[in-house]
Amino acid sequence: MNTQFMATIAGSDRPNLLKILAEKTHNLGGKWLDSKISRLEGQLVGIIKIDMPEENMSALKAEFNAIADFHVSTSAINLVTVTECEQVEVRIEAKDKPGLISDITNLLDQKGVTIEHMENHRLSVAEMGTIVFYADMNLLVPVDLGTELLLDELKNINQDLRVEAVA
């Protein structure tokens, strides 16, 4: 019987690494259903939804972990109740302060908003003598909350916060 699970991968990037992982999955009767992979500073991280014979799951994990400087963990897929949501891309800019990401993610969690993707950076701006935080986020916003209300609530986190929905 086949099972579906999530494999979270992380390790040193190298040529053909994704090809190797895909081949190992295929050789054990599995297939990737969905994946999100990122490379940063010579590292590769990702999450892969895999469908394969249940009895081969442990072997796949062992084969992935046998790759030098590479780690994988697996977790079962739990079905969740789906709330009707709209997908919204949001850009946030602010003067940096400690705890800003925590403040933003706590508010999103309290409002039932799901972060589909988040990319953030901090840049030193010499002319301003400060560090600027910015983030691009793809969010799933519950329809009953609404985008405008969410944007207003995000703006209230910090007086320097500039938030906009990107079309």
Query: Which CATH number belongs to the domain containing residue 158 in this structure?
Result: 3.30.70.260
- Label residues 101-120 b or e (16+ Cβ within 10 Å = b): eeebeeebeeeebeeeebee
Range of the domain at 34: 2-76
Q: What percentage of the chain has pLDDT greater than the value 70?
A: 98
* Same domain (yes/no): 155, 92: yes
Same domain flag for 155 and 138:
yes
CA–CA dist 92, 104 (Å, integer): 10
**11 and 47 part of one domain:** yes
- Stretch 134-152: mean pLDDT: 92
Token reading at 140: 């799933």
Q: How many domains does the chain have?
A: 2
pLDDT at 77: 85
pLDDT at 81 over 80: no
Max intra-chain CA distance, the chain: 62
